[in-house]
Amino acid sequence: MRCFAKAKINLALDVIGKRPDGYHDVRMIMQSVSLHDTLDLEICPEPGIHLCVSGGSTSGEDTEEQGTGLLTVVPSDEKNLVYRAAALLMDEFHIDKGITARLAKEIPVAAGMAGGSSDAAAALVGLNNLFGLGLSCRELMERGVKIGADVPYCIMGGTALAEGIGEVLTPLPKLPECFVLIGKPAVSVSTREAYENLDLSLLSERPDIDGMIRAIRAGDIQDVCRKMKNVFEPGIEKKHPVIGRIRRLMEENGALKAMMSGSGPTVFGIFDDRRTMEAAGERLSESGLAQTVLASETC
């Protein structure tokens, strides 16, 4: 069984506050994009979970921040979120057959694009089908949140408001067709550190999430772009100025708006025209600012 695990971008990201359990309450507008990892699942005679991973960057590619390179290594053991998702369902349903899982990574790793969460979502959906477990989407989402706050959204996909720790989801209408240029610089950002360094009192402006929802409902992509904001961006960009340089390059080359996704460091630009996006992608590749440049679209 072949499953596609789509990446996400955050069109808006606000952090409401820290909860007693250490998690943060957030309000985010999530959007899935066509960029995806591919997960092939197969029942095999040998019991257990046999995972093999290809693609994905390695620590050796981290140039700017030595010492944080481990962040970008995709584990192929029980630490991989595909393994954890498979183990969760196989334990609960006492499945004694084995599975072989082949994961081909395309989504940049530790990049703010929910690659691992999306892989876990694909594994839950795939195993539910492969073993005929009969779980509904909601039941899969309830299990997914045990693996990660973004996993329920990754099961659902599309355009959505995410609240709570990210698991309280309200689907929104599909965006008008737009093209998304993705540029990941060769720096690592730890999500934990991004939260630790976030000082909301220093922010002059917070995202207008309700305004963005109105713009989405109206199908007004220009207004959606005007309202794009990510509370992590100023702090992370200060530490890694390359993020601002990629953002500006995209906007100087026709993006309606460019912004950092999640806790970074990936920058995405929204374009209303494919050719303009492709030309901007070429400029970005030539600039050497980004380690990875990918063309995608909202879906």
DSSP secondary structure string for all residues of 78-134 = TTSHHHHHHHHHHHHTT--SEEEEEEEE-SPTTSSS-HHHHHHHHHHHHHHHHTT--
How many whole angstroms separate alpha carbon 246 and alpha carbon 296? 17
Give min distance, CB of 230 to ligand ATP, in A: 12
80 binds ligand ATP (CB under 6 A): yes
127 binds ligand ATP (CB under 6 A): no
**Interhelix angle for 81-92 vs 115-130, to 10°?**
30
69 binds ligand ATP (CB under 6 A): no
Torsions phi, psi for 81 (to 5 deg): -65, -25
Closest by Cα among 11, 4, 3, 47 to 28? 11
How many whole angstroms separate alpha carbon 296 and alpha carbon 285? 15
Q: Could you say which of 9, 109, 121, 294 contacts ligand ATP (CB under 6 A)?
A: 109
Task: List, in sequence order, every residue forming a beta bridge with 196; answer none if it has no partner.
Answer: none
Pick between residue 40 and residue 223 the one whose CB is nearest to ligand ATP.
40
111 binds ligand ATP (CB under 6 A): yes
Distances (CA, A) of 229 to 12, 39, 79: 5, 32, 32
Q: Choose one: 18-26, 116-124, 249-257, 268-276; the region binding ligand ATP (CB under 6 A).
A: 116-124
39 binds ligand ATP (CB under 6 A): no
Binding mask 252-281 for ligand ATP (x = CB under 6 A): ----------xx------------------
Pick between residue 263 and residue 291 the one whose CB is nearest to ligand ATP.
263
41 binds ligand ATP (CB under 6 A): no
Site for ligand ATP, rule CB under 6 A: 71, 73-75, 79-82, 109-117, 119, 150, 191, 262-263
